[in-house]
Amino acid sequence: MQKEWYRINGGAPLEGTVTISGAKNASVAIIPAAILSGDTCILENLPHIHDVQVLETILKQIGATVEYTVGDCMKIDASHITTTEVVSPEVQEMRASYYLLGAMLGRFGECDIALPGGCVIGARPIDQHVKGMRALGAEIEIGSDNILRARAKHLHGAEIFFDMVSVGATINVMLAAARAEGLTVLTNVAKEPHVVDVANFLNMMGASVKGAGTDVIRIQGRKELHGCGYAIIPDQIETGTFMIAAAATMGDVVIKNVIPTHMEAVSAKLMESGARVEEGDDGRDFFIRVCMRERPRPVSIKTLVYPGFPTDLQQPMTSYLTVANGVSTINETIFENRFNHVKELRRMGASISVKENRFCKIKGVKQLRGADLRASDLRAGASLIIAALMGQGVSNVHHIDYIDRGYEFLDAKLTALGADIRRMKG
Ligand code: EPZ
């Protein structure tokens, strides 16, 4: 298979308007959630990204009908699912395939699923997912073949206090609880926008999910759920990526189809660094405008669960701060190995020191220079593209398959903002 990479000639400010796509981390949960009903669901505003394509493949493999309608909506008919075995190679291609566990348990009371693939940013265990499913009455075994086997003669409500805040475990248990008999109370839950989006989708299917976005979620299980139509929220992380890219290239960008309240931690940090961030609505869309005309001031970042600064934007922010007028610090509290982009930024002349893989100190330099770079994961890839856009001269960003997993039409969107970026094949 031919290799592909991005060739970027940096130094130009991003200027103009960009429209944000549907949220990846909501989409990869809502597509599996659609099988909780034996009906048809129509999903609008799904991003055309690799992770969505993989889930489409998996749903077809288990017997669902998945097609795109006029108007680019995904139509999922889950009435003829033929198996509760989800063990194809595609399942290990992505992390979020584990949402099929909650959906299958909720719908069929059983599921054999391959454990999700590895990931460079951390071990990413699923012990909280398993804890929640067992509390709902499922028996769960993980075999030496890395297949998780779940059986639940009777899914019943439960009170579950998560040992730590987990987006995946909160959503996965919510899916199963939506069809469990009785009341489930989830405490110490994730409050990310995509958690709320999944809860809203479930309620459109006739579920009773209350309190998503707060510390306690109450779910009254339903015997049956029905199909529905639903539009995915805009992607909080893509929005933040473009906000940071605008500031990092000393540009002036209007980012449309956003939800400003989801971006408060990012807006605050960019303003603290000296960027101008304005919110507004043009009568149809909310937008955020980011303008930066000076060298950024140094800031300190601590990644936290929502509404704190998102870990998924820690890597793009690191690139931005490599040219700040002083020393910035970053404390990554969510994942134990999320600094793989640092060695690549050093190749561009960045001055960054890392301690215990949880802290980094960034001494601002005047400018980055172009270099050959390798993405190690999705958001590291985004951070390297931002660094290449900032850098003087040409950079090549390799392993962009990671980037294709989470950003829709990224090079086209950046080109429209004046970036000199080309997707190369060879
Ligand atoms: C989701 O991953 C996102 N992925 C990640 O985005 C995001 O970084 C993360 O939430 C945090 O916001 C999707 O939504 C598909 P967690 P998830 O469970 O659910 C530990 C991206 O770039 N943990 O909130 O896997 C875990 O190891 C991706 O879009 C356990 O120990 O994250 C981590 O240290 C990257 N046991 C912390 O909790 C568990 O059972 C937070 O993980 C579950 C999690």
**What's the 335 CA to ligand 1 centre distance in angstroms?**
8
Q: Confidence class of residue 1 from pLDDT cuts 50, 70 and 90? A: low
- For helices 24-33 and 50-61, the axis angle rounded to 10 degrees is 10
> What mean pLDDT do residues 62-81 have?
96
**Digit-coded pLDDT (tens) for 411-420:** 999 999 999 9
**Digit-coded pLDDT (tens) for 310-321:** 999 999 999 999
Rounded mean pLDDT of the chain? 97
| CB 398, CB 380: distance < 8 Å | no
CA distance 426 to 415: 21
- Tell me which residue has its CA closest to atom 6 in ligand 1: 312
Mutate to test the pocket of ligand 1, among 163, 167, 403 (most ligand atoms within 8 A of CB): 167
**Digit-coded pLDDT (tens) for 321-373:** 999 999 999 999 999 999 999 999 999 999 999 999 999 999 999 999 999 99
**What's the 225 CA to ligand 1 centre distance in angstroms?**
27
**Digit-coded pLDDT (tens) for 383-412:** 999 999 999 999 999 999 999 999 999 999
Q: Confidence class of residue 119 from pLDDT cuts 50, 70 and 90? A: confident
> What mean pLDDT do residues 144-156 have?
96
What DSSP line would sit under 332-362, residue for residue? --S-SS--THHHHHHHTT-EEEEETTTEEEE
**What's the 349 CA to ligand 1 centre distance in angstroms?**
31
Which atom of ligand 1 is nearest to 128's Cα?
40
CA distance 179 to 36: 8
Which atom of ligand 1 is nearest to 123's Cα?
27
Strand 229-231 relative to strand 40-44, pairing: parallel
Q: Confidence class of residue 118 from pLDDT cuts 50, 70 and 90? A: low
Angle 75-80-83 from CA coordinates, rounded to 5°: 115
Q: How far is CA 26 from CA 30, 167, 255, in A?
A: 6, 11, 20
- Tell me which residue has its CA closest to atom 13 in ligand 1: 25
**What's the 388 CA to ligand 1 centre distance in angstroms?**
27
**Digit-coded pLDDT (tens) for 189-199:** 999 999 999 99
Which atom of ligand 1 is nearest to 167's Cα?
24
For CA atoms 104, 109, 115, 121, the dihedral sign is positive
**Digit-coded pLDDT (tens) for 33-62:** 999 999 999 999 999 999 999 999 999 999
Which atom of ligand 1 is nearest to 377's Cα?
22
Instruction: Enumerate the active-site residues.
Output: 119
**What's the 334 CA to ligand 1 centre distance in angstroms?**
8
- Tell me which residue has its CA closest to atom 7 in ligand 1: 312
- Nearest CA among 145, 144, 138 for reference residue 103: 138
Q: Determine which helix (DSSP H) or strand (DSSP E) holds 33, and give its type and residue range.
A: helix 24-33
- Tell me which residue has its CA closest to atom 19 in ligand 1: 168
pTM of the model: 0.98
CA distance 29 to 399: 25
- Nearest CA among 375, 322, 380 for reference residue 350: 322
- Nearest CA among 247, 236, 249 for reference residue 289: 247
What's the pLDDT at 148? Answer: 97
CA distance 12 to 390: 8
**What's the 170 CA to ligand 1 centre distance in angstroms?**
10
Pocket of ligand 1 (CB under 6 A): 24-25, 28, 95-96, 122-129, 164, 166-169, 190, 237, 311-312, 334-335, 378-379, 406
What's the pLDDT at 426? Answer: 87
Mutate to test the pocket of ligand 1, among 25, 54, 357 (most ligand atoms within 8 A of CB): 25
**Structure tokens given for 249:** 């290239």
